[in-house]
Structures are given as structure tokens and as C-alpha cells.
Structure 1
């Protein structure tokens, strides 16, 4: 792993408003708690990420974060100086944005992505950048989640020999390890919710269009979104309130039914009479996971929810169509992003990235190749792409999620998110159990998906997924917060060591 780049001073003053500066003069003592919290988080990163178990969840830190946190708290802004770690495919002005690849190791754009500008405007502080599955896990079919050439291998705080899932692996592991108040991840299909579930934290993939994607290293303009990863649903809603905003440069965000905030009113939601569809075919065949899920369902039912069992198998055409969309959009959107970079001698196309990897194969392709990059480079049939996109979105949204909720007269759907973390194996790659979970329809159609910790299997966390209609983000967050209040399971604490069988 390359040494962490701690870069001071770059671009921080331009984020300080006149109101913030005046507030500091008026009440300098008010900043003490947020400033101290930021220092504690930096110390924890040094102790747990750089040393100790060496989680490798964080790629770079912002040493100015304590001062910025104090200033934001004193200004009385919404997030009050809370510190946030940002997945390293999202641009921040003071740190490079690498997507985990050596091809972008010197990608100092000096720009804030609009979602980061919104974070700062609401009193949030960038503490640093998190490791990720390189290129958000779209380079090769045989990848190992959580590995990047820049950051090395992210380790799961609950079992350091087990996987942290991807691609927002560093964000999930960092929140679980208490390295920041919260983190921001990105998802195309499962990249927020899987690492959140496997690391035992809350992850929320919002409806596509709530959060800007400008200056975020892309995969798909149809499916990409950023979202919060936190230790509670209330914190996820608060962070979403700060980063959700319209961006004229991202057409998907314009004119959407966005709330003024997503964190006010969570505590008033009652489960009494709420109808929830239980996706029985997506529970999988693990008896231990079924038992944990059934306990979560019993908690919901005891609080008044009405559970409706649903037996359903998705139309598999959706997956093939979605894959065709991702391949076509990866080439186009990556080319647009790379062309926008202000630095010299930067890659400007997906073809440039392929060539870079070939020229640096020992560092970049020791463990897996780039077959998806190569396939995307040859995916140029626009007519086939447009047809696949229309079919995928229709099947996933109208014919799956909307149809299920209408037919069974339910407001929400529920399923386990994933099974427990698998043993990391760089030689053989990931070991997903594809029979568990129901996240793909929400990812493909751009609907909200929330995962909340529901317990563990032998000390390894597992989460419950909650789904709702497009733009029903607030309602899904209300349901998740209500479940947290009635959850009977005791959640595991990170052990910061290799997995061991639980004592009986």
C-alpha cells in the first residue's frame, strides 16, 4: 500500500463563507467539541488503519479537518462540524481522487463534486478519502472486493481475514471501525448496501437523482448514485439531507420531488398497520440467516406491522439488459469524466486506462485482469443500448417493484441484504452467494434501498434490506428507523482480528 497523503491547506479557504467567519469571531469557544472529535478520529485512523490491524479503509486524510470542524460547529450549520470520509471516486478539492487506480494517483482536480460542496455548505467536514474496489469493481469479473492498487486490501473490522464487500468497502469498514462520524459511498448495483451489511452498518442507496453525480468517477448514468453509510438510520437521513440537491450539470437531479430534509419526523413513524412484503424466495438457503431474518420480521410484526409473504422470481432478462447498459455507459461516461480532468498527462478515455493497465500489469493486474474494461470498449451499438436500457428499467421498476407492491397491497418490501462476509481470497476472487438478497431491481430501476443491521452469524454482521417506491426515500428511512427502535438482536462489536468461532 502506498503511504497516505496528508495534504494541508489546498482549497480549504474557498469553502468558508462570510457568515461562518463572522460566527467564529462571535463564539470561538463553541468549536471545541467538533474539533476534538475530528482529532480523535484522525488518531483512530492512525491507530487502526495505518497501524494495529491495518484495516486499509482510508487512503488519504485531511489534516485541516479539526480546524474546519470547529469552524463549522461555531457557525451553527446543520451538520455542526461532523466529519465524513468520502469514497475515493468522489472529488474533493483538497485531496486527489484516484478511484483506487495508479492511473489517477496524481488526480488533483482542485474541485469539489457538487455533493461535497453541499456537504460543506451544511456544516460537514471532509476527514479524508476511503479505499474502494478499484474502479468501483467494474474492471474485471474475477476481482476481489476491497482491493485497489492505490489502497491495497480493505479488511473487515469484524474479521480481518474476511471481505468487506465492494465497491464502497473502505466506507463501510471505516464507519464500522469508528474512524469517522459517517462516510459517503457510491452504488451502481450493491456497492453501498453490500459493504454496509457485511460491515454491520447502515447504508442507504437513494433514488437515482436525489444526489448529484457530477465530478464522481462514473460507471453508469442510469444507475450510479452516492449515498450515506452510518451507524444509525437517523445519521443516514441527516447526511442525506446535507448532500441531496439539484445540479444543472446532472439532468437526473433536475425537477425531482426532493424534500427539504430527510431527518425530521423519523421518530414519529408508527409500524402499526404498515404492510411489508417479505421476499421469501430471496432469503436463500442458509438456515442461520433465515433465523436472524425471521427474528427481525418478528420484531416488526410485534410492533404492529402486517407481513405479507411473497413468492417471486424476477425476469432474468433484466440482468442481461442491465449489464449491456453498464458496458455501453462505462465507455461513454468514463470518457467524458477523464476528458474533464484539469491535470496534464492524464488518461482521457477508457482505451487509455486499458493501455495504462497493460503497461503497469505487475502493479495493476497481478490479481485480476480487465475483461470488463475491454468488453465496454467494444460496446458501441447505441440502438441496442437504448433498447436494453428501456427494457431493464421497465422490468425492474414497473414490472417488478411497482407490480409487487400493487398486487400485494404493500408499501414496502423486505429481504436479507447479503449473507455473512466470506474469507478474502485474492487468488480466486469473491465468493458471493447470488441467491440471497433482492437489491438488483432497486439498483437497475433507481429506487431507494436501505440496509439496517439485524444481527450476526457467528460474529459476522448481516443486514435487512428495505425497499420502497421511486422517490419514497423518506418513507423507507422512516421504516428503517422504526425497525431500529424495535430491534431485539444484540449487534456484534468489531473484534479487529481474524475470525474465530463463537464460544458456546
Structure 2
């Protein structure tokens, strides 16, 4: 097996990071009981991440997780010592925030993103940082999802030769492997929902503006958002309740406080009875096995009382072209702003300097693929062309897309398979996913909520079911997802490592 230089460097990087942190003080938890689930999580990390053929989900880990969890478990706070892993493009005070890039290994800002501050205030334990597709998968058109120069390749816990999708690869894989109660992911288009689907967990891309993006390495001011990834809809809703809210430093969150609350409210008795749901049949793609699983999910919803409305629609390819133009322009703009403002001693202060850094370190940074998207983005300075592309993409995705489909068909949500089964990871040729399955881009471009819930498996590989609704309908989508969870009949696959542990 060929091991990339990045993979060899990981233990050294993790050790260097750990040595800069205050050591855990076991005395803090001497008279407090460590929650058994936290003990089990830490044991799984030791067995399946620190030794042997690692999943590669975790970049850095806290040294005092059990002590923190024991202290907070009896605090009465909403999260009460539950462990949360954080994608390594979200700043936390303990570790550098690298976005998977060697250019940012010194990006030690010593601050929490507002969403992390909220998580801690709710009693959550930040147990570590997760690997991701480097720069959230916006560097190259032929990248391999889940690979970063900092930490190598994240593997799918259900089948280690298979991909974990991206860009929230480590977050999805870590939750599936039982390394934490939940995780934070981020999405611009598909980066929470696809990893949730192929790793067999729940993932919510919230309405853009419900969760702060301050101190998160950006791609797009129009589409970026952080969101929860968990093993159940209720857990995802509980985590969203903790992290949602307005932030004066992020204008997109101006209305968030008006829409936040207890997102777990009403989940236990949520029903599909009489609920009209639109079925995006053309999102099923060409795979008969995925179509059969989707039909089983529809049958489950119909038995639970849902009124299903078949919708014959697919997006205009021009929508994706306009979105790409928007992302290229905003990538340069937002990355330049983030890097120039970082208080850390980093060697790059603009996207142009990142390009130069990667070229100078090509033997480590560009081992498998290049940076052609970066090179395109750095040239995009025509603001009028950008504004037209943004208006066009919003019109096609929201006004003539999501909102029109919901209104014309009198449905509260659209459903479709989230993605196809995980593909074989191939660092030489890049990703090879089933591109004709799913229609999540419509929600991503529109800034609307998109919830992926496991619906079963194809050849023991998980497949998710997407629920997409209008802006600020996050709670409604979670209720639909919870009702579907109870109605679902196909068995869900269990990662071999967890199945083996249950049989021990």
C-alpha cells in the first residue's frame, strides 16, 4: 500500500498540536462519573483511529474529553457533556484551523467561532477536529473527496476502500464510526448532505443565515453554512438548537434569532398524516437499486399517511453554470478577507499567495491533483458579471425552482435520494460518484434547508433520503425527518467496527 507523505506527517502534526495544549487534570473528574457513552467513544478512537488501519477522520483530539464530559454531564445544560467533533475549517481555541491545507498549519487564532462558543455554552464538549476535503473541495475539479495534505484520506467506516464524500468527510465518518455523539460540518453545495448520506448518518444543511459563519474558513458568502451531523434526527435537532442564532459580525444571520428555538420540540409526535410531499422522480438517476430503495421509502411515507405528489422537473444546466461563476468570484473575495484578517502568523494572506504556496510545496500539496479552480477564481474580478450570475442562479434555484415547485404543487417539502452509494476512492483519477442522483443544489443555491436521513443501503453501502423546503423551514424539515425515521422499514447498515464491538 502506498502511503502519502501527508499521512506519514499526521502523527507528528497531531503531537505538535497536542504539546501546545494544557494537559487534562484528572482530578477534575475524580469524584464525577464519566458518561459511559463517552468512555466507549474514546475506546473506539483508540482502536480504530489511533491504531491499525485508521479511518482518518480526526485531525486533532482533546486530551481531557472524559474529564470535561464528567464535569458537564450533571450541569443541567442542554448538551450536558455530549461530545462534538468539529470540521477543521471552523475555528476552535485549542487548535490551529487548517482547512486541510499545509498553508494554514500555523493558523492558531486561539479563538472560538461564535457557533463553537454557543456549543460550549450549551454544555457541549469539543472533543477534536475532523479531516475534510482540502479547502472544502474547492481547489481542483479532479480532487478526491476526503483527502487533505494535512491528514491524508478519510475512509468510509462501512467499507474502508470506499469514499466518505466531502467536504465534511471526517465529520460524517466520525459520527458513523461512533467517535463522538455528533459533529459539525459545513456546506456550500452538498458538503454536509453527501457525507451524511454515504456514511449513513443524519445531516442538516440549515437555512443560510441560521448559523453564524464568523471565523469559518469561507468559500461563498451566498451559500456557506455550518450544520449538525448526528446519528438521529433528534440529536441533529438538539445540536442545531445549541449553535443557531444571530451574530452581529455575520449580516446573513440578522433574522436568525427570530427563527431559532428548541428544534427538538414536537419531534416525538411529528406525523406524516395528510402531509403533501413532492417527489423529484428525475433525481433518482439510472441505478435500479437506488430507485428500488427510494420506492420503499415512498411506500413507508405513504403508509404513514403522506400524500405524495410526483413532480416531473429537473434543473436547467444553466443554473449550475451560474452557481459556479458565483462561487469563483466569492471564493477569491471571501478567502482574501479571511486570510488577511487572521491573527495567526500564517505565510499566506490572499488566494494568490495560497496558489504560490501550493506551487512551491507541490511535492506535498499537489501530490494527487492541482489547483485549477483556485487559478480560475483569482482572475474573477468582474463584479457586474458576478451580480448577474448571482441573480440568475437565485432565479433558477429559488424563484423558478424550489419556491415555485412547492407552491405550484401545494407541497411542504421535496424528497429525493441524497446521493448514490459510496464509490471506490481513487487518488489518481479523483472522484467517480453517480452524478445523476440527487438534486441538492437547488436548496444550496436557494439558501434553503436540506435534511438527509438514512433510508437504507445498496450492497451494504448507506443511501440517504433528502427533505428540502423553503427558507426558515428547518424545524418543519426536522419534523418530517423524525416522522420518516419512525416509518422507515428497510434495515440500516452498521459499520463493521461497531457490529464487531456489539458481538464482543
Fold shared by both chains (TM-score > 0.5): yes
RMSD of aligned residue pairs (Cα, Å): 1.8
- Aligned-partner SS, 2:451: strand
| 1:74 corresponding residue in structure 2 | 74
Q: Is the 8 A contact 1:53 1:496 kept in 2?
A: no
How do 1:133-148 residues align onto structure 2 when only pairs under 5 Å count? 133-148=133-148
Native 8 Å contact 2:83 2:124 kept in 1? yes
Aligned to 1:7: 18
Aligned twin of 1:17: none
Contact 1:159 1:496 in 2 (8 A): no
- 1:95 & 1:71 partners in 2: Cα distance? 22
Q: Does 1:156 align with 2:156?
A: yes
Describe how 1:165-180 pairs up with structure 2 within 5 A. Answer: 165-180=165-180
Contact 1:11 1:94 in 2 (8 A): no
Matches of 2:52 and 2:265, distance apart in 1 = 39
8 Å Cα contact 1:327-1:376 kept in structure 2: yes
User: How far off is 1:263 after superposition?
Assistant: 1.0
Deviation at 1:268, TM superposition (A): 2.1
Deviates more, 1:48-57 or 1:325-334: 48-57
Return the alpha-carbon distance in structure 1 between the equivalents of residues 266 and 275 of structure 2.
17
Q: Which residue of 2 aligns with 1:354?
A: 355
Q: Aligned residue for 1:124?
A: 124
Gaps of 5+ in 1: 14-23, 498-504
- Decide whether the 8 Å contact of 2:275 with 2:412 is kept in 1: yes
**425-434 vs 367-376, which moves further:** 425-434
Structure 1 segment 275-286 matched on structure 2, within 5 A: 275-286=276-287
Question: Are 1:155 and 1:164, in contact at CA under 8 Å, matched by a contact in 2?
Answer: yes
Structure 1 Cα separation of the partners of residues 363 and 305 of structure 2? 57
**Given that residues 106 and 345 in structure 2 are in contact (C-alpha distance below 8 angstroms), is that contact kept between their aligned partners in structure 1?**
no
CA distance in 1, matches of 2:226, 2:203: 11
CA distance in 2, matches of 1:210, 1:12: 35
Following the alignment from structure 2 to structure 1, what is the Cα–Cα distance between the partners of residues 155 and 358? 24
Q: Post-superposition shift, 1:9?
A: 8.0
Give 1:335 deviation, angstroms: 0.8
Farther-moved stretch of structure 1 (181-190 vs 63-72): 63-72
State the alpha-carbon separation in 2 of the partners of residues 496 and 224 from structure 1: 33
8 Å CA contact retained: 2:104, 2:346: no
For residues 122 and 255 of structure 2, the distance between their equivalents in structure 1, rounded to whole angstroms, comes to 21
Which position in structure 2 is the counterpart of 1:405?
406
Give CA deviations for 1:262-320 in whole Å, capped at 9, x if unaligned: 11211121111000100011111111111111111100000100011111021222111
Aligned mates of 2:314, 2:62 — CA distance in 1: 47
8 A Cα contact 2:34 2:67, kept in partner:
no
TM superposition shift of 1:41:
2.1
In structure 2, the partner of 1:317 is 318
Cα distance in structure 2, aligned partners of 1:267 and 1:98: 39
Q: Which SS does the other structure have where 1:308 is aligned?
A: strand
CA contact (8 A) 2:81 2:125 kept: yes
Matched, 1:339 2:366: no
What CA distance in whole angstroms lies between the structure 2 residues aligned with 1:211 and 1:102? 27
- Counterparts of 1:65-104 in structure 2, within 5 Å, are 65-104=65-104
TM-score by length of 2: 0.93
**Secondary structure of the residue that 1:451 maps to in structure 2?**
strand
Q: Is the 8 A contact 1:41 1:180 kept in 2?
A: yes
Counterparts of 2:254 and 2:20 in 1: how far apart (Å)? 33
Cα drift, residue 243 of structure 1 = 0.5
Following superposition, the deviation at residue 43 of structure 1 comes to 2.6
CA contact (8 A) 1:12 1:94 kept: no
Cα distance in 1 between the residues matched to 2:270 and 2:37:
31
Once the two structures are overlaid, the 10-residue window that deviates more, 59-68 or 320-329, is 59-68
